[in-house]
Amino acid sequence: MRVLVVEDEPRLAQNIGAALHDGPGYAVDVCHDGEEALLYCATADYDLVVLDLMLPKKPGQEVLRRLRQRDGATPVLILTAVSETQKTIDLLDQGADDYMTKPFDLGDLIARARALIRRGKGVRQPALRLGAIVLIPADQTVRVGGQPVELSPTEYRILEYLMHHPNAIVSKRELLEHLYDFTWEHHSNVIEAHVSNLRRKLRSASESAVLENRRGRGYRLTSSDEASA
């Protein structure tokens, strides 16, 4: 999952970015003003935008309005000051999904980020299921055919993304863009190795869990074993 943090206070921006990266393992891009935010959103496809309201160049409200004009789906979590409560409530009418009042607890932020991403993907239940594969984002555990499977953080993130796109071919580029920040091109060579480790671990847990590599097209996760899910 890839998250954009838009916050002009450098230390707060850094702390939020680190929390979302170290906790749930999201790829995080950070920018510091409203114009940059729109540029980032035009360039990358985010799974969540954390958006401060008081920003240089363009206010958060304007960023939200422009974002909603072209993309209704990306969840937006507003960061706000106590004095802006009424404005924040208006923003929920204008397409923001949730808000937090500063100062806030970073653990609370992570919990809300997780909930919004689940909702944004149309998955309301806490566990993601595909045939024999069950992934629980809350504690980052994976079971295949009822057996726990130990994954590295990168393998977990690959599986989480593919579980959100079951049976679909996901291109290598799409996967990279959602796993990493703007450095994603540097990871292009190692992703194959992570995918192949993940494939092996899934397969050894259940023959039905198949992670295909469609050469030149991308990756496809399927699991036919509905019964043991």
- Nearer Cβ to Ca ion (8/225): 8
Give the number of C-alpha atoms closer than 13 A to the C-alpha of residue 126, restricted to the C-beta side: 6
* Whether the Cβ atoms of residue 109 and residue 18 lie closer than 8 Å to each other: no
Q: What's the rounded Cα separation, in Å, for the pair 179 and 2?
A: 6
- Taking the complex as a whole, the smallest distance from the CB of residue 7 to Ca ion amounts, in Å, to 6
- Taking the complex as a whole, the smallest distance from the CB of residue 52 to Ca ion amounts, in Å, to 4
Considering only residues 3 through 62, tell me which ones interact with Ca ion, judged by CB under 5 A: 8, 52, 54
Cα 157 to Cα 16, 90, 92, 98, 147: the distances in Å are 19, 35, 30, 24, 19
- Taking the complex as a whole, the smallest distance from the CB of residue 61 to Ca ion amounts, in Å, to 12
- Nearer Cβ to Ca ion (64/202): 64
Which two structure tokens, joined as six digits, stand for 57? 């160049």
x/- mask, Ca ion, residues 136-175, rule CB under 5 A, reads: ----------------------------------------
The answer for 204, left when phi > 0, alpha when psi is -120 to 50, beta otherwise, is alpha
- Taking the complex as a whole, the smallest distance from the CB of residue 79 to Ca ion amounts, in Å, to 8
- Taking the complex as a whole, the smallest distance from the CB of residue 98 to Ca ion amounts, in Å, to 18
- Nearer Cβ to Ca ion (17/120): 17
- Nearer Cβ to Ca ion (8/174): 8
In the sheet with 169-170, reading across from the earlier edge strand, the strands are 169-170, 218-223, 209-214
Number of residues lying near Ca ion (CB under 5 A): 3
Residue number of the CB closest to Ca ion reads: 54
- Taking the complex as a whole, the smallest distance from the CB of residue 1 to Ca ion amounts, in Å, to 24
Taking alpha carbons only, the member of 57, 60, 2 closest to residue 29 is 2
**Checking DSSP bridges between strand 76-80 and strand 169-170, what pairing results, if any?**
unpaired
x/- mask, Ca ion, residues 168-207, rule CB under 5 A, reads: ----------------------------------------
Q: What's the rounded Cα separation, in Å, for the pair 19 and 13?
A: 10
**Residue numbers of the site for Ca ion (CB under 5 A)?**
8, 52, 54
